[in-house]
Amino acid sequence: MATSSAKLKLPSGPSRHVYDVIVLGSQLGGALAAALLAKRNHRVLLVEHDGMGPGYEHDGYVLPYAPFVAPPLKTMPVVEEALTELGLTATVQRSLRPHVPELQLLLPRNRLDLHADAARRKAEATRELGEEGEALLGAVAGAAAQHESTDAFFKEVPALPPDGFFEKWGLNKLIKANPGLEATPRLAGDAPAMKLVRGLLPFVSHLENPESALSRSRPISQVLSSPSLFAGGREGLRELLTRRVVELGGDVLGRDSPAGFIVEELTFDGSKFAGMKLLRSDTVYRAACLVAATDSGALRRLVTDKKHHRGLLEHLDQSSTKSLLFTVNWVVPESALPRGLGELALVDTGDQELGPLLVQVHVARTAPGPGGKEAKEAEGLRVVCAGAFVPDSYRDLGEEHLRGVANRIDEHLDALMPFTAQHRLLRSAPYLDAGGVRGSRLMPHPLYSFESEAFLGVTGLSQRTPAKNVLLASREVLPGLGLEGELLAGIRSARMAQEMLKKKDPLKG
C-alpha cells in the first residue's frame, strides 16, 4: 500500500486559539469538510485525534489495517464536484487505478477473473461456469451500471438525513421524481458465484443489514463499475485532503505531530459547544461550530459532563457497532504467490461464521528508518491483506479468541496459496500486533445498526444534534452509501457550518 512521497509536515501547535470551525476526527467526511471550509475562507482547525495513520508498524514493515476498495470518481458526481472546487480531481484520478484483474471470484471448484476486457471476461466465464457464467456476467454488468439511475437524485444534493418538516417534505418530493431509487438490485439468485459477488457489499457499505433497494445496489454498483486501488488506501485519501487544508491556510493537529495531540474533553457554554481541551495541555481551542468526524462512541467519551448534555449523548446512542472487519496480513516474496492470484479476490470460504474473505495484494513497505526517513517499497515483496467480518462482541472475548479468528483466516489463505506459507516473512493482525494503537483506530470498517428512522434505507444519525452548534460528518450519517456517504456527509456539514457562521462570528461574541 503506497503512500505519497512527501510526508505531511504539521506544526507543533497553532498560535491561533479561536476559529470559525473545529473539525474533530480523522474520518474522510471531516477532512473534506475542513478543506471545503478553508477554501471558502473560514478559519478552520482540523484535529485528527483518532487517525490510524498510513498503516501500523510490525517487525520492520508498514502494514494496512484492512483491504480498501474504492469506486471510480465518475460514479460519485457530487464528490467529484467538491474535489474540483478544491483543485484535487486530477490528483485523485491519478491515484486511483483498477485492480488487475478488476475482481477475482474464488469458489471451491471455480476461479473466475472479471477482466476489464469484455471479450476476455465472457470467454473465461463461459469456460468456468457455462450458462451460469453468462447469467452472472449479465447480472454484474447490470449491477455495475445501476448507480447511473440514481445519480440525478444525488446531484440535487438532497437533505439526507432530513431534519424537520420542510426538509422531509422536500426530500419526499424529490424521491417521487426519481423512481430509480426503488429499482430492484440486479444481483439476485442463489447460484454460488452470484451469492459471492453479493458478499462484496459489506466491504463497501457501513450497514449491518442493508435492506432497501438503494442501500443494496448503489455502493456495490459504484465499485463493480471498476474496483479500484487508491494509493495509500483510505488513509492516503485522508492525507491528501488534510494536506489541502494546510495549503489553504487551515491548521491541523495530527496524531503524528511531535506533541501527539489527543483531545481530552469538549467544553460547553450551557448547551452549546464552546471549545476543546487537549490532553496534558491547558490550552482551550474555541470555535463557533464543531464538526465531528469520529465514531459516536469516541465522541461520547469526550463529553465529560454527562448530566447536562443528555440530549447529545442520547442522539449518539442511537448508533451501535455490530460487526468489524478483522484483518490478517502476510508478507511474502512476490515469487511465492500463486501465478493466477489477482490483486483483488473475493473468496468463498464456506465458513458460515466468517463469510466471504476479501483479499487484496499490496506492494510491501519497510518501516521508516531513523532520522525521519520515509517508508520505502520493499522490492520483490508483497503484502497479502485478507479481511472478514466478525461480531463486534469478539473484542470483549479476549486476545486468545482473536488469535483463533486469525488462525482460521490463515487456514483459508493456506488453502488459497498452498505453497506460500513456507516462504512467509511475517504474519500480522492489527488487533493483535498494532502495538500502542488505541481502540477506535482498530475499526477501519465497522458495520452499524441504528434506532433512528432510515430514509431510503441509507441514513443513520442526523447531522444536526441537540447541541445546536455540533454537527456530524461521520460514516454513521449515511452508512448505507459507503465511501460516497462518508464524503457526502462532509460536503453537507460544510454547508451547514457556513449557514451557522452567518449568524455568529466567534471573534465578535
Residue type, 220: I
Q: Facing residues of 278 across strands? A: 263
Residue 260 has pLDDT above 60, yes or no: no
Concatenated DSSP letters of 136-188: HHHHHHHHHHTTHHHHHHHHT---SS--SHHHHHHHHHHHHT-GGGGPPPS--
Query: Which residues touch 419 (CB under 8 Å, ≥6 apart)?
Result: 336, 338
Q: Rounded distance, CA 135 to CA 210, Å? A: 24
Looking at per-residue confidence, does 181 or 368 come out higher? 181
Please report whether residue 253 resides in a domain. Answer: yes
Please report whether residue 207 resides in a domain. Answer: yes
* Mean pLDDT along residues 210-214: 95
The three-class DSSP label of residue 282 is coil
Please report whether residue 355 resides in a domain. Answer: yes
Q: Rounded distance, CA 363 to CA 3, Å? A: 11
C-alpha cell at 352: 458460515
Query: What one-character DSSP code corresponds to residue 419?
Result: T
Residue 193 has pLDDT above 80, yes or no: yes
Q: Rounded distance, CA 61 to CA 55, Å? A: 9
Asked whether residue 425 falls in the same domain as residue 361, the answer is: yes
Asked whether residue 269 falls in the same domain as residue 299, the answer is: yes
Question: CA dihedral defined by 163, 165, 168, 172, rounded to 10 degrees?
Answer: 180
Measure CA 210 to chain center. Answer: 17
pLDDT digits (tens, 9 = 90+) for 29-50: 999 999 999 999 999 999 987 7
Asked whether residue 349 falls in the same domain as residue 223, the answer is: yes
Asked whether residue 240 falls in the same domain as residue 187, the answer is: no
Please report whether residue 360 resides in a domain. Answer: yes
C-alpha cell at 194: 452470484
Which residue segment(s) compose the domain that 332 sits in? 73-146+183-231+321-442
Asked whether residue 293 falls in the same domain as residue 427, the answer is: no
pLDDT digits (tens, 9 = 90+) for 300-354: 999 998 889 999 999 999 999 999 999 999 999 999 999 999 999 999 999 998 9
Q: Which pLDDT does position 49 carry in this prediction?
A: 77
Residue 235 has pLDDT above 90, yes or no: no
C-alpha cell at 267: 467544553
Asked whether residue 377 falls in the same domain as residue 392, the answer is: yes
pLDDT digits (tens, 9 = 90+) for 95-122: 999 999 999 999 999 999 999 999 999 9
Residue 490 has pLDDT above 90, yes or no: yes
Residue 217 has pLDDT above 50, yes or no: yes
Q: How many domains does the chain have?
A: 2
Please report whether residue 291 resides in a domain. Answer: yes
Concatenated DSSP letters of 171-231: HHHHHHT-GGGGPPPS--S--HHHHHHHTTHHHH--BSS--SHHHHHHHHHHHHT--EEET
Using the 3D structure, point to which of 442, 459, 487 is the last residue of a domain. 442
* pLDDT confidence tier of residue 11, bands split at 50, 70 and 90: very low
Least confident residue range of 1-10, 62-71, 191-200, 300-309: 1-10
Q: Which pLDDT does position 370 carry in this prediction?
A: 65
Q: Which pLDDT does position 10 carry in this prediction?
A: 41
Asked whether residue 392 falls in the same domain as residue 248, the answer is: no
* pLDDT confidence tier of residue 282, bands split at 50, 70 and 90: confident
* Mean pLDDT along residues 38-66: 88
Least confident residue range of 35-39, 63-67, 164-168, 433-437: 433-437
pLDDT digits (tens, 9 = 90+) for 401-453: 999 999 999 999 999 999 999 999 999 999 999 876 654 456 889 999 999 88
CA 26 vs CA 41, 49, 335: distances in Å = 21, 7, 36
Place of cell 464456506: 350
Contact in structure between 255 and 25 (CB atoms under 8 Å): no
Asked whether residue 437 falls in the same domain as residue 457, the answer is: no
* Mean pLDDT along residues 460-471: 96
Please report whether residue 344 resides in a domain. Answer: yes
Place of cell 447490470: 142
Q: Which pLDDT does position 9 carry in this prediction?
A: 43
Please report whether residue 173 resides in a domain. Answer: no
Burial 275-288 (b: 16+ CB within 10 A, else e): bbbbeeeeeebbbb
Please report whether residue 159 resides in a domain. Answer: no
Asked whether residue 468 falls in the same domain as residue 431, the answer is: no
Q: What is the enclosing helix (H) or strand (E) of 277?
A: strand 272-278
Mean of all residue pLDDT scores within the chain: 90
Asked whether residue 372 falls in the same domain as residue 433, the answer is: yes
Least confident residue range of 12-26, 79-93, 354-368: 12-26
Q: Which pLDDT does position 499 carry in this prediction?
A: 95
Query: Which residues touch 379 (CB under 8 Å, ≥6 apart)?
Result: none
Using the 3D structure, point to which of 416, 442, 468 is the last residue of a domain. 442
Using the 3D structure, point to which of 419, 442, 465 is the last residue of a domain. 442
User: How far from each other are the two terminal CA atoms of the chain, in whole angstroms?
Assistant: 46
- Percent of the chain residues topping a pLDDT of 70: 91
Query: Which residues touch 254 (CB under 8 Å, ≥6 apart)?
Result: 8, 10, 48, 51, 242, 261
Contact in structure between 213 and 103 (CB atoms under 8 Å): no
Asked whether residue 271 falls in the same domain as residue 374, the answer is: no
* pLDDT confidence tier of residue 508, bands split at 50, 70 and 90: very low
Looking at per-residue confidence, does 16 or 298 come out higher? 298
* pLDDT confidence tier of residue 504, bands split at 50, 70 and 90: low
Asked whether residue 125 falls in the same domain as residue 82, the answer is: yes
CATH (domain of 284): 3.50.50.60
pLDDT digits (tens, 9 = 90+) for 370-384: 655 566 888 999 999
